[in-house]
Amino acid sequence: MRQNKTTTEAEGIHQMTILTDIDDSELLASLETSINSAEQYSNGEIGEQRDKGHQYYYGEPLGNERKGRSQHVSMDVFDAVESVKAMLMETFTADRNVCAFDPQTAEDVMPARMATALTNFIFYRENKGSKILHDVIHDALVSKTGIVKRYYKEDFQFEEEVFEGLSEAELNMLVSQPDVNVSDITDESTVIEVVQDPQTGQPVEVPATIYSGEILRKIPKSKVCVEVIPPEDFLVSPMATDEVDADFCSHRTKRTRGELLAEGYDEELVDRLDNEQSYMEEGSDARDSFDGFKSSMHEEHDFDRQYVTVYESYIKKYRDDLQKCVFLKVLHSRSVILDKELVSEKPFRYFTPFPIPHRFHGMSLADVLFDIQKTQSSLKRGVVDHTFMTNTSRFIANLSLVKNPRDLLDNKVGAVIDVNSPNPESVVRPMPMPSLSGTVFQAIESLEVEKEARSGMSRMSRGMDSSVVSKQNSSDLISQFMNASNRRIMVMARNLAENFLKPLMFDIYKIAVESETQEKLVQLDGQFVPINPQGLGARTEMSVAVALTPEEQMQEAQMLLSLDQQFSMNPADPTVSGLYGAQQRHAMLSRAYELMGIKSGDSYLVNPNTPEYAQQQQAAQQQQQEAQARQNEVDKFQAGMTARQVAVLEGQLELDVMKEQNSFTIEMDKIKHKEEIEDTELLLKTEKQSHDMEMKEQELMLEATQGRSVSID
């Protein structure tokens, strides 16, 4: 630590030496030349196109209006800008990480996630990232470039606190705190306290003074700031191709003298600063036309509230003693230098929707739609004029036969025209009006198609094409049509992510690691985690999310869920079980939740790397072991029961066999007995028949002998 501190002091001394060698008048002259060149470049063709972009976006008159004719202005620029802005905002303000730091090792996974969470917290929470993205995208689509400045702002505020009944020792302890200033002692009184005498050990009464009053506590509010700069207030060298290689750039702004004095600048220098009226009028006229307010209308009589024009310029200068070009940051006006220091980089990042190679300024979306809006306005004005003239026709009249010609001039609805003629049709008749050509609507439709081709935003993606949404087209087919029509917007989104948001996130993280001294409470994995920026270290790798549209998000989420289902379908497969474990499944499901927009997905999924998961696994294993032990006891009991059941079944089987045998024997005896009875009955019946025959023969013999009927009983 001592070595680093010594090195820092040496660098500071070396920097002071370089700065003192630079002549202020020479530096001011160089800055004046660079500013004039940059202003001429910015207020020339670039400035005219910016003004035109705002005028067309607001739908202001085009300058070709005719008195008495339709003043309609087609809002093609507004329509395209708002449609593209809506898609880009939905892409970059969703609840997910568009840019994420890549881990370098297996142990670096959690620190990388913490770095990503910290950067997103600083950008989206502390700096209202959604508003910043909205303003940058709007400036770029209308005024060619959206520009931000990122820096670390050391700031604080005072909070008033009241204290009562403090002793002198307690008051001294309170005042000794570096962040406390006593503003007022409201009460100072003497009371009698009972204390123990150190020599005798007896309680004694002694007078004591107690204090009450107010203090001001200094609360640190320093943070990394991201500020959107109006494009007309950013001056850059005409030779620049981007913000990195520009040898001169400057942020022109208006600040109050009180703000400059609060930052510690010399009062004499602040008093010499002036307010450029030309700056008030140039560059922002078209933007101010929306509400008609101009900064020149605002006047302040208090010295500390007066606005002055200040330039924060970055200029590259060659140092002969160093034999190297260095960048100087100079805070100045046209005639006064407030501060200057050596810097290693410029604090600006910018985005342009249609970059042009080897040029700093690209093309805005408004630039490619100017002629379409103007032509559409002319065509639609013709339709409105024709409709109006058809409904309020002009007349051909013989005024000598019209009693009151004013009736024709006023042309009131339902008015009576009094004529001196028995044939009024011959006195007053409407002038023939040519019909509206159908090619007008064909031209309007053709221009709509061309607008879609230029802007990349189709009516289908805006939900304005009813011919696509029908029963004949499936939802997947409609999604494919919409994605195909938005390819140019996706290129713009990729450009915004790779060339603007990614470098900006790197800058925010770097400034936080270098300057932040306090921990930040950041939500990570569904929990609030304290993160110390200085303990994270430098990082060089960051990736941009592949799925940049909501449709692509859902497709990727469905694909991940399908893969999880396939991998989890057969966990016993040796070719998959070793590759797809708990950590891999947690990562895949977390990513799917994130893509589907489910907030706090880790509230539903336990991270395998946490102690909670280990405890759950141990509890599950213990429960499994207990269940296995109970199952073993059940199996053992069932085995004993099975042996006994077999013996019982064997005895039962023998009884059943004996029972069947006895039943069979009894049945056979019954059958035999029945047969014997039947045989006996048959024998008796035969003997009876024989007896009856013998008796019959004897009766016949007696009847023959006696000559009369005989019956033998």
Per-residue pLDDT tens over the stretch 140-194: 999 999 999 999 998 888 888 888 888 888 888 888 888 888 777 777 777 666 6
- Give CA–CA dist 32/332, Å, rounded: 10
Residue 230 tokens read as 């109006």
Helix ranges (H only) for 21-99 are 24-43, 45-58, 76-92
In this structure, are residues 435 and 382 in contact, taking their beta carbons and an 8 Å threshold?
no
In this structure, are residues 123 and 226 in contact, taking their beta carbons and an 8 Å threshold?
yes
Strands (E), 257-295: none
- Give CA–CA dist 562/568, Å, rounded: 10
Q: How far apart are the first and last CA of the chain?
A: 155
Residue ranges of the chain whose pLDDT lies below 70: 1-21, 94-96, 191-195, 204, 206, 275-287, 289-300, 458-486, 526, 546-552, 571-578, 597, 599-603, 640-641, 643, 710-713
Q: What is the pLDDT of residue 349?
A: 94
Q: Which residues contact 488 (CB under 8 A, 6 or more apart)?
A: 455, 456
Q: What is the pLDDT of residue 7?
A: 38
Q: Which residues contact 240 (CB under 8 A, 6 or more apart)?
A: 246, 247, 248, 249, 360
Q: What is the pLDDT of residue 546?
A: 54
- The per-residue DSSP string of 495-528 comes to HHIIIIIHHHHHHHHHHHHHH--S-EEEEETTEE
Q: What is the pLDDT of residue 149?
A: 95
Residue 506 tokens read as 């790197």
- Give CA–CA dist 209/170, Å, rounded: 11
With CA atoms as reference, report the closest residue to 408 among 400, 417, 419, 398.
417
Q: Which residues contact 222 (CB under 8 A, 6 or more apart)?
A: 152, 153, 154, 155, 156, 515, 516
- Residue 360: how many other CB atoms lie within 10 Å: 24
**Dihedrals φ, ψ of 191, to 5°?**
-130, 165
Q: What is the pLDDT of residue 2?
A: 33
Residue 408 tokens read as 């024709």
- Residue 1: how many other CB atoms lie within 10 Å: 5
In this structure, are residues 160 and 214 in contact, taking their beta carbons and an 8 Å threshold?
yes
Residues β-bridged to residue 326: 317
- Give CA–CA dist 295/288, Å, rounded: 9
- Give CA–CA dist 419/314, Å, rounded: 82
Per-residue pLDDT tens over the stretch 454-488: 777 766 555 444 444 444 444 454 455 445 556 77
Q: Which residues contact 545 (CB under 8 A, 6 or more apart)?
A: 96, 97, 98, 99, 100, 497
**Can you say whether the dihedral through the CA atoms of 364, 365, 369, 370 is positive or negative?**
negative
Ramachandran region, residue 428 (left: φ > 0; alpha: ψ -120 to 50; beta: rest): beta
